[in-house]
């Protein structure tokens, strides 16, 4: 089992990102520790997606530093950068599957590009990944347009997991899923953490999911991380937005205390 | 030890010992695959059948899903040959991962057998014919829906989307003017130059004016403009409607009680039917201007002589023959573009294919219709 050391796989320091003069992120400091599932919350428009997209290199930053797996991204060469790309997987909110490829070919795509295995083994691995995320092997031949929303998310997760990444970025993985599928997704995430020891950076609004899966939660508000810690820290926080978020109408706290208990047992099992 | 290894050797009672070591991970999968094949073959060639395979994973330093699957794959190969298999020494921490990978079925339902040879050829010809007929039927269907939408808009003029039409008019007409003027100007100039070059040998340079005038006004002006518009605006229509179809925007309109043909197709096609005659007129003028300029500078035909010769060789009818074709061609370009757009399915590839189809089919039909008009005008003696 991968050791649960306290070293951070992602270190974000004093990050500033602005759009047309407006500072969306203003001095963000954040760590993702090895083997943990970090839930990332914040009001809509607070810049959660901006932070995620900046870390994975889709948006430029103005100031600060981002270190992923020991590589400082702004100073990394092309090849160092590509080496890091191989070690993370990204699940986009809408799946972002290649619509002209079948599910199977979508999962095979990174494997074929990076590992150059025999076609037979590539296919077997792709099917194995699809089965790992709870899909039937036959989904291999379906095009994304023939799949339901939940299945698209699963295929996209299988693609994100294709190279056995060390870090997984998830952008609202349970949005648009029914509660049963969402719970299955949470369970899947815990299994993956357990079996592969991956570190997960998850942007989510799903309170159940936060309770069930996350080791730590970070809260983004007004361009800064205002609170980070486990669920107890969140519930005890005096920050007004957090109070509203975790004690508000939809938080149904006592129900979730029960869920929390269940999560602990699930994790032990 | 860092690289991945797999050693094999026979054991007692027709057994085989496999000993794995090193890092069984994604990056080493490539080196492991031939090792596994070699081990499987070695066992086969040995004396007698292998009854029992022991896979010793105690020396494996690191394991991921790739390694886990390679172990499981090896075991399955032997199982399928009827041997008993056993996995020993796998670190407890990797057991969960291995079980997860192992639980996979890996079974795809076999595909339907594909026809080959002559039968396949006939099948593809048949399918193409069916596709052509359905295409024709769909064009007529969209044309019919368009007429219905047009009539209902006539009955309730307030429902007509004038803003939308003006917007499309700006894009397909106003924005197209520069490129249309440039291309037709050049075509006119080239025709005049070629005409003068060849007619000069017979001393018939002046007839170049007749040729340019008749050719441009009757045929080339409208044809060039229509081909340009099919490529420029027809493709844009298909892509717009296609991506709306892909993102269920068309369905959203329908559920709100709007007729997509009335809301999306009618303003577009009407805009095109207004734009193409205007552009044809402008294009013809630019071509005549280009022809006149070349005739003057290259052929030494004075502009005054050019004008008077033009007056003699053409009349209102020549001009009308060209112009009358323009709205019909606009209609066919619009219909084909919208039909193809509405047939786009979920993938980016299908959007590309339909946009290509739209341009190819509308240019083809424009030329066919031009031919039909030529036959018609000849038979009525114009």
Considering only alpha carbons, which residue of chain A is nearest residue B36? Answer: A121
Q: Which of A138-152, B180-194, B236-250 has the highest mean predicted lDDT (pLDDT)?
A: B180-194
Average pLDDT over residues B108-125: 78
Residue ranges of the domains in chain A?
8-87+165-268
Please judge whether A1 and B93 are an interchain contact, meaning their C-beta atoms are less than 8 angstroms apart.
yes
Which residue would you say has higher pLDDT here, A80 or B303?
Answer: B303
CB distance B279 to B230 below 8 Å: no
| Cβ within 8 Å of residue A74, ≥6 positions away | A61, A65, A66
CATH of the domain at B35: 3.30.750.24
Q: Please report the pLDDT score of residue A251 as a whole number.
A: 63
Please check whether residue B198 lies inside any domain of the structure. Answer: yes
Q: How confident is the model at residue B291 (pLDDT cuts 50, 70, 90)?
A: very high
Asked if B31 has any chain A CB less than 8 Å from its own CB, the reply is no
Q: Of all helices (H) and strands (E), which one includes residue B309?
A: helix B303-313
Please judge whether B103 and A131 are an interchain contact, meaning their C-beta atoms are less than 8 angstroms apart.
yes
Considering only alpha carbons, which residue of chain B is nearest residue A124? Answer: B106
The torsion angles phi and psi of B141, rounded to 5 degrees, stand at -65, -45
Asked if A141 has any chain B CB less than 8 Å from its own CB, the reply is yes
Of B65, B104, B108, the CB nearest to A164: B65
Dist CA B77 CA B33 (whole Å): 13
Number of domains in chain B: 2
Q: To probe the interface with B, which of A82, A89, A110, A164 has the most B CB atoms within 10 Å?
A: A164
Residues B96 and B192 reside in one and the same domain: no
Residues B27 and B168 reside in one and the same domain: no
**pTM listed for this prediction:** 0.71
Asked if A164 has any chain B CB less than 8 Å from its own CB, the reply is yes
Dist CA A226 CA A239 (whole Å): 8
State the ipTM, two decimals.
0.74
Which residue would you say has higher pLDDT here, B308 or B96?
Answer: B308
Please judge whether B33 and A118 are an interchain contact, meaning their C-beta atoms are less than 8 angstroms apart.
yes
Please check whether residue B110 lies inside any domain of the structure. Answer: no
Q: To probe the interface with A, which of B25, B26, B348 has the most A CB atoms within 10 Å?
A: B26
Looking at beta carbons, which residues of chain B come within 8 Å of A116? Answer: 30
Please check whether residue B123 lies inside any domain of the structure. Answer: no
CB distance A160 to A89 below 8 Å: yes
Strand ranges (DSSP E) for B101-221? none
Q: How confident is the model at residue B46 (pLDDT cuts 50, 70, 90)?
A: low
Looking at beta carbons, which residues of chain A come within 8 Å of B64? Answer: 164, 196
Q: Please state, in angstroms and as integers, the Cα–Cα distance from residue B162 to each residue in B157, B176, B266, following that order.
A: 10, 20, 10
Q: Please report the pLDDT score of residue B1 as a whole number.
A: 46
Please judge whether B100 and A146 are an interchain contact, meaning their C-beta atoms are less than 8 angstroms apart.
no
Which residue would you say has higher pLDDT here, B13 or A242?
Answer: A242
Of B65, B100, B349, the CB nearest to A100: B349
Axis-axis angle for helices A119-132, B65-80 (nearest 10): 110
Q: Please report the pLDDT score of residue B235 as a whole number.
A: 96
> What's the number of CA atoms in the CB half-sphere (13 Å) around residue A211?
22
Residues B170 and B301 reside in one and the same domain: yes
Rounded to the nearest angstrom, the minimum Cα separation between A227 and chain B is: 33
Please judge whether B345 and A137 are an interchain contact, meaning their C-beta atoms are less than 8 angstroms apart.
no
Residues B165 and B68 reside in one and the same domain: no
Q: To probe the interface with A, which of B75, B347, B354 has the most A CB atoms within 10 Å?
A: B347
Average pLDDT over residues B172-186: 96
Looking at beta carbons, which residues of chain A come within 8 Å of B350? Answer: 100
Look at domain A8-87+165-268 and name its CATH class: alpha beta
Q: Please report the pLDDT score of residue B304 as a whole number.
A: 93
Please check whether residue B329 lies inside any domain of the structure. Answer: yes
Question: Encoding tokens for residue B356?
Answer: 């290509």
A63-68 sheet: strands from edge to edge? A22-33, A8-19, A63-68, A71-72
| Cβ within 8 Å of residue B34, ≥6 positions away | none
Looking at beta carbons, which residues of chain B come within 8 Å of A121? Answer: 29, 33, 73
Per the structure, the complete domain to which residue B80 belongs is given by: 5-102
Reported as a single tens digit per residue, the pLDDT across B213-253 is 999 999 999 999 999 999 999 999 999 999 999 888 888 88
* Last residue of one domain, picked from the residues B65, B87, B102: B102
| Pairing state between β A88-91 and A167-171 | parallel
Please check whether residue B127 lies inside any domain of the structure. Answer: no
Q: Which of A67, A85, A83 is nearest to A75 (CA)?
A: A67
């Amino acid at each position: 089992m991968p050791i649960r050391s306290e070293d951070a796989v992602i270190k974000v320091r004093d990050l500033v990102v602005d759009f047309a003069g407006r500072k969306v992120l203003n001095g963000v400091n954040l760590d993702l520790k090895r083997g943990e599932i970090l839930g990332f919350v914040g009001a809509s428009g607070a810049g959660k997606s901006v932070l995620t997209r900046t870390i994975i290199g889709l948006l430029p930053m103005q100031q600060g530093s981002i270190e992923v797996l020991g590589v400082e991204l702004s100073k990394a060469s092309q090849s160092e950068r590509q080496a890091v790309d191989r070690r993370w997987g990204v699940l986009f909110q809408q799946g972002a599957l290649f619509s002209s490829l079948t599910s199977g070919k979508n999962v095979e795509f990174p494997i074929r590009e990076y590992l150059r295995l025999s076609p037979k083994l590539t296919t077997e691995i792709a099917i194995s990944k699809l089965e790992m995320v709870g899909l039937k092997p036959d989904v291999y031949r379906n095009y994304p347009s023939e799949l339901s929303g939940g299945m698209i998310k699963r295929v996209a997760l299988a693609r994100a997991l294709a190279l056995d990444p060390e870090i997984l970025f998830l952008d609202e993985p349970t949005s648009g899923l029914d509660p049963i599928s969402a719970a299955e997704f949470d369970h899947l995430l815990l299994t993956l953490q357990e079996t592969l020891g991956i570190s997960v950076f998850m942007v989510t609004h799903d309170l159940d999911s936060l309770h069930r899966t996350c080791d730590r939660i970070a809260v983004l508000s007004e361009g800064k991380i205002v609170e980070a810690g486990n669920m107890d820290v969140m519930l005890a926080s005096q920050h007004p937005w957090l109070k509203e978020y975790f004690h508000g109408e939809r938080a149904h706290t006592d129900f979730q205390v029960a869920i929390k208990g269940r999560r602990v047992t699930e994790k032990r099992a | 030890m860092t690289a991945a290894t797999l050693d094999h050797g026979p054991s007692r009672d027709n057994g085989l010992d496999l000993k794995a070591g090193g890092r069984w991970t994604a990056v080493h999968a490539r080196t492991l695959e031939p090792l596994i094949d070699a081990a499987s073959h070695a066992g086969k060639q040995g004396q007698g059948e292998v009854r029992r395979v022991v896979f010793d994973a105690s020396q494996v330093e690191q394991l991921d899903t790739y390694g886990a699957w390679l172990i499981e794959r090896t075991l399955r190969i032997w199982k399928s040959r009827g041997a008993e298999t056993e996995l020993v020494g796998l670190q407890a921490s990797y057991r969960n991962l291995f079980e997860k990978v192992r639980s996979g079925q890996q079974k795809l339902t076999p595909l339907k057998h594909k026809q080959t040879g002559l039968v396949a050829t006939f099948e593809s010809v048949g399918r193409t014919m069916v596709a052509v007929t359905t295409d024709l039927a769909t064009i007529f269907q969209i044309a019919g829906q368009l007429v219905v939408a047009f009539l209902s808009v006539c009955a309730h003029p307030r429902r007509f989307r004038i803003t939308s039409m003006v917007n499309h008019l700006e894009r397909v007409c106003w924005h197209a003017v520069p490129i249309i003027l440039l291309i037709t100007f050049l075509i006119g100039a080239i025709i005049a130059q070629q005409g003068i070059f060849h007619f000069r040998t017979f001393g018939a340079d002046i007839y170049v004016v007749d040729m340019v005038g008749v050719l441009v006004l009757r045929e080339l002006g409208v044809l060039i403009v229509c081909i340009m518009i099919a490529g420029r605006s027809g493709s844009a229509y298909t892509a717009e409607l296609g991506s709306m179809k892909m993102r269920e925007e068309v369905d959203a309109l329908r559920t709100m009680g709007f007729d997509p043909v009335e809301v999306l197709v009618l303003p577009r096609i009407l805009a095109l039917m207004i734009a193409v005659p205007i552009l044809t007129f402008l294009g013809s003028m630019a071509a005549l201007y280009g022809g006149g300029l070349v005739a003057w500078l290259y052929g030494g035909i004075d502009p005054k002589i050019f004008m008077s010769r033009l007056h003699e060789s053409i009349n209102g009818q020549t001009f009308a023959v060209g112009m009358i074709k323009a709205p019909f061609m606009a209609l066919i370009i619009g219909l084909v573009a919208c039909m193809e757009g509405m047939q786009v399915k979920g993938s980016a590839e299908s959007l590309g294919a339909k946009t290509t189809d739209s341009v190819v089919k509308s240019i083809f039909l424009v030329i066919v219709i031009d031919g039909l008009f030529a036959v018609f005008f000849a038979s009525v003696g114009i």
